[in-house]
């Protein structure tokens, strides 16, 4: 099958976002709506009876939605909101696992012109309260179990939250004001709905992202973002009409929305949704049974599969796979190469952020992969390496191999339009005609970008700047190491020294001898300046649900400092 992006340079030279916009239909009579492009235009056409969502339950259940059925059910939810008096632009929060009701509610919210605001189902009561309060939520859709465990105790502190729609509503909540039965409302709603006449710059999505300090930031995205979702699905994920796509990400974070819901549906393909948590054999079984062709997952999952080993893979036929891609945290070179061994093809890393709304830099099917590189910018994206040179000024670094801050020229459709109620914080992201990402990187002579670390993660040791990712990648090349996290530890002489934390593969046990072996291995590979001075063992390296290593949490625990916001921690 010929990749969609074959001639990279020619495509970049001729690409325009205006042309990309013409690949979508637009609302009849004018306007743009994400849900119309994802659902209704297919339901009205030749793909009406093509499977859109294939939901796989924890217990082996399966439920398919064609585009026509998805259209009818999302219309029902849009009508539910209309009957409740929820107006255009009001915020609808979703707190649920990967169940069909979440996807129906998200798309129905967008149809009605309201704003879809996803929440992690793993959040505790306080992060939930904080985000709903910051976002001025009017509606919450959740399950009975999550309501009882996480919402009930903070309900009284959210006076603006008018309606809670409970999936599987228990008898004891039926008489509580503002709590409604989701399925009862859906059964009573009409399957016909005229989509709200949203405009490209109307607010559509509100994603909260946690920083190392302060309250969560609400990154605002508009309906125009669908243009970037569609284009990046074509170029970076190489969607073709007969693909079966599986994004393992939870819609509680941005990948699960942009690529777990929107992008595959705009292409009219079949998107697999698995309710269950990671299990290597279950995952391989899903790829085999459903003939998944494009698989998009996280580095955490890749490392967990690596930990299990390749032997189990031999029990499955994974020959349907055409592309395996990863996002969330840079993919170590070891993992890229492991994909070749395990699946017969390398794992394609790509880079983007909550704020960018979609993939910005990627490794493409028709291009050479350089393990450890995030790849090259998408057509329509201008990326550069810059250096801050004073208050409100930057200069671009043009020499290959020089580290600096990764920056993007503003103007792509899925670029966030602001931080909710924090205009000054938003303005500070843009300096000298660039959006400053806060990530440190370098660009080689061929235009490939290489991740160094977050600006606030970089270790300054005896005058040297050391990226933790580089050290982590080398440690993971050792046969015993499953995962690694690296921090800078204060030192009275060097300023900081490198300290590593490693978890081990099942066949290995921690010992002083292994510690010394790892120290020597790293010193030999990295040199005395960059190699860790100390290595400790941890059962699991702490990560967010999106796969990012929580280095600031490792540092807080090492130094006995407050741990801060743990709401996005993968496991508490």
Query: Do residues 328 and 548 touch, judged by C-beta distance below 8 A?
Result: yes
- Of 105, 112, 108, nearest to 85 by C-alpha is 112
Report which listed range, 124-133, 167-176, 429-438, is most confident. 429-438
Q: Which residues of 251-284 are buried (b: 16+ CB within 10 A; e: fewer)?
A: bbbbbbbbbbbbbbbbbbbbbbbbeeeeebeebb
Residue 532 contacts residue 512 (beta carbons within 8 Å): no
Whether the predicted pLDDT of 67 surpasses 80: yes
Domains (ranges, CATH) in the chain? 8-443 (3.40.50.12780), 459-559 (3.30.300.30)
Confidence of residue 572 (pLDDT cuts 50, 70, 90): very low
Q: What percentage of the chain has pLDDT greater than the value 90?
A: 78
pLDDT-derived band at 211, boundaries 50, 70, 90: low
Higher pLDDT, 530 or 81: 81
User: Can you say whether the dihedral through the CA atoms of 73, 58, 123, 54 is positive or negative?
Assistant: negative
Residue 321 has pLDDT above 70, yes or no: yes
Greatest CA separation for the chain: 72
- Three-state SS for 167? strand
pLDDT of residue 328: 80
E strand intervals along 223-261: 244-247
Percent of the chain residues past pLDDT 70, beyond the cut: 96
Q: Is the pLDDT confidence value at 213 over 50?
A: no
Q: Would you place residue 568 in the very low, low, confident or very high pLDDT band (cuts 50, 70, 90)?
A: low
pLDDT digits (tens, 9 = 90+) for 89-126: 999 999 999 999 999 999 999 999 999 999 988 787 88
| 3-class DSSP assignment, residue 266 | helix
* Range of 123-127, 144-148, 174-178 with top mean pLDDT: 144-148
Dihedral sign of CA atoms 219, 223, 224, 225 in order: positive
- Taking residues 315-339, report their average pLDDT: 92
445-461 per-position pLDDT tens digit: 999 999 988 777 878 78
Q: How many beta carbons lie within 10 A of that of residue 433, not counting itself?
A: 11
> Could you give the residue ranges of the DSSP H alpha helices within 112-224?
125-134, 144-146, 182-188
- Helix (H/G/I), strand (E/B), else coil: 498: strand
The least confident of 258-272, 302-316, 554-568 is 554-568
pTM over 0.85: yes
Measured at the CA of 170, the angle between CA 164 and CA 173, to 5 degrees, comes to 50
Is the pLDDT confidence value at 214 over 60? no
Q: What is the pLDDT of residue 323?
A: 97
Name the band, by pLDDT with cuts 50, 70 and 90, for residue 332. Answer: confident
Question: Is the pLDDT reported for residue 62 higher than 60?
Answer: yes
543 phi/psi in degrees, rounded to 5? -140, 160
Rounded to the nearest integer, the mean pLDDT of the chain is: 92
């Amino acid at each position: 099958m010929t990749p969609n992006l074959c001639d990279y340079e020619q495509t970049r030279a001729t690409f325009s976002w205006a042309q990309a916009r013409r690949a979508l239909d637009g609302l009849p009579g004018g306007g743009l709506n994400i849900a119309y492009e994802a659902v209704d235009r297919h339901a009205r056409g030749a793909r009406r009876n093509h499977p859109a969502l294939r939901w796989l339950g924890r217990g082996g259940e399966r439920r398919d939605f064609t585009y026509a059925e998805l259209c009818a059910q999302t219309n029902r939810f849009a009508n539910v909101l209309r009957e409740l008096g929820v107006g255009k632009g009001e915020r609808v929060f979703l707190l649920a696992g990967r169940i069909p009701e979440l996807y129906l509610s998200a798309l129905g919210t967008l149809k009605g012109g309201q704003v879809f605001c996803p929440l992690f189902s793993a959040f505790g009561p306080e992060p939930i309260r904080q985000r709903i309060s910051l976002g001025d939520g009017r509606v919450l859709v959740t399950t009975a179990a999550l309501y009882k465990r996480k919402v009930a105790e903070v309900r009284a502190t959210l006076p603006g939250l008018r309606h809670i729609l409970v999936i599987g509503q228990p008898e004891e909540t039926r008489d509580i004001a503002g709590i409604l039965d989701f399925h009862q409302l859906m059964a009573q709603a009409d399957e016909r709905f005229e989509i709200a006449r949203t405009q490209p710059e109307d607010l559509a999505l509100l994603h909260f992202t946690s920083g190392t300090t302060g309250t969560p930031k609400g990154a605002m995205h508009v309906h125009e973002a669908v243009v970037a979702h569609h284009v990046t699905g074509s170029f970076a994920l190489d969607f073709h009409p007969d693909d079966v796509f599986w994004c393992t990400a939870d819609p509680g974070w941005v990948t699960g929305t942009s690529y777990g819901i929107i992008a595959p549906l705009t292409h009219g393909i079949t998107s697999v949704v698995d309710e269950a948590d990671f299990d290597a054999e279950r995952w391989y079984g899903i790829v085999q049974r459903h003939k998944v062709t494009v698989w998009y997952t996280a580095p955490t999952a890749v490392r967990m599969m690596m930990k299990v080993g390749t032997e189990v893979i031999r029990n499955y036929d994974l020959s349907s796979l055409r592309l395996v891609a990863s996002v969330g945290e840079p993919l170590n070179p070891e993992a890229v190469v492991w994909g070749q061994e395990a699946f017969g093809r390398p794992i394609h890393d790509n880079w983007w952020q909550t704020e960018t709304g979609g993939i910005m830099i990627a490794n493409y099917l028709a291009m050479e992969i350089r393990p450890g590189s995030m790849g090259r910018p998408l057509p329509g994206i201008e990326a550069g390496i810059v250096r801050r040179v004073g208050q409100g000024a930057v200069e671009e670094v043009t020499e290959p191999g020089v580290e600096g801050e990764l920056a993007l020229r503003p103007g792509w459709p899925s670029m966030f339009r602001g931080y909710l109620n924090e205009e000054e914080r938003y303005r500070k992201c843009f300096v000298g005609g660039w959006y400053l990402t806060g990530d440190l990187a370098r660009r080689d002579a061929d235009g490939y970008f290489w991740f160094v670390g977050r600006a606030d993660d970089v270790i300054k040791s005896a005058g040297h700047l050391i990226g933790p990712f580089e050290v982590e990648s080398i440690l993971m090349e050792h046969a015993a190491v499953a995962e690694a996290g690296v921090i800078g530890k204060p030192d009275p002489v060097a300023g900081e020294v490198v300290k590593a934390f490693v978890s081990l593969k099942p066949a290995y046990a921690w010992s002083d001898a292994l510690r010394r072996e790892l120290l020597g291995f790293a010193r030999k590979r990295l040199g005395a300046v960059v190699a860790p001075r100390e290595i400790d063992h941890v059962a699991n390296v702490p990560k967010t649900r999106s796969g990012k290593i929580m280095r600031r949490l490792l540092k807080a625990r090492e130094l006995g400092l407050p741990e801060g916001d743990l709401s996005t921690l993968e496991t508490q």
